[in-house]
Amino acid sequence: MTTSKPMLAQEIYNRAKSEGIHTLDAPVSGGDTGAKNGTLSIMVGGDEAVYEKALPYMQAFGSNIRYHGRAGSGQHTKMANQIAIASNMIGVCEALVYAKKAGLDLEDVLKTISGGAAGSWSLSNLAPRMVAGDFEPGFYVKHFIKDMGIALEEAELMGLSLPGLSLAKELYEELSSAGAENDGTQALIKLWKE
């Protein structure tokens, strides 16, 4: 259930199969909040029959559980998840910095924009932590950098250019170099602090 390279998930699947063992790659998303509330999103790759057998166990801690196809597909889906989060986190930080500079009440701004087209899990769950100065990890900066690196490697193998993800990784690496590698991903806002 860790996040790893899709190729590794395929290697584990093939090795396990040769030993008569069933495996699934099933990374999760939803952070500490999702884990505590049993509402994690679980992205599953592997044999569908094995997924069906494992589903009741995953339902104990996940509420958005999806089968995505052959081995490695769960990892590819997690990369898509991380790509969406990476650029979104930049937008969340910039929105807060802008609203503060404009003299707005940040909590009121969040209540307003979270319910509109700008709404996202990061805006609803991590932006309030940013405003409160709470950088406790739901997901560590250092692990997010690892995931972004995997996504960029996979994108390169596919011949894709992902400039938003590249920028996000650079910003998070800067944050990590400043000593925040064990903070939560919402600590990105520190790069804009005066």
Q: What is the pLDDT of residue 194?
A: 58
Q: Where are the domains of the chain?
A: 6-72, 76-192
**pLDDT tens, residue order, the chain (194 aa):** 999 999 999 999 999 999 999 999 999 998 888 889 999 999 999 999 999 999 999 999 999 999 999 999 999 999 999 999 999 999 999 999 999 999 999 999 999 999 999 999 999 999 999 999 999 999 999 999 999 999 999 999 999 999 999 999 999 999 999 999 999 999 999 999 85
Measured in residues, the chain has a length of 194
Largest CA distance in the chain: 63
78 catalytically annotated: yes
pLDDT tens per residue across span 11-27 = 999 999 999 999 999 99
Among the four given CATH numbers 3.40.50.720, 1.25.40.10, 1.20.1250.20, 1.10.10.10, the one describing domain 6-72: 3.40.50.720
pLDDT tens per residue across span 37-48 = 999 999 999 999
- 6-72 and 76-192: identical CATH topology: no
The verdict on pTM exceeding 0.95 is no
Among the four given CATH numbers 1.10.390.10, 3.40.50.620, 1.10.1040.10, 3.30.70.360, the one describing domain 76-192: 1.10.1040.10
Catalytic entry in 5, 17, 36, 78: 78
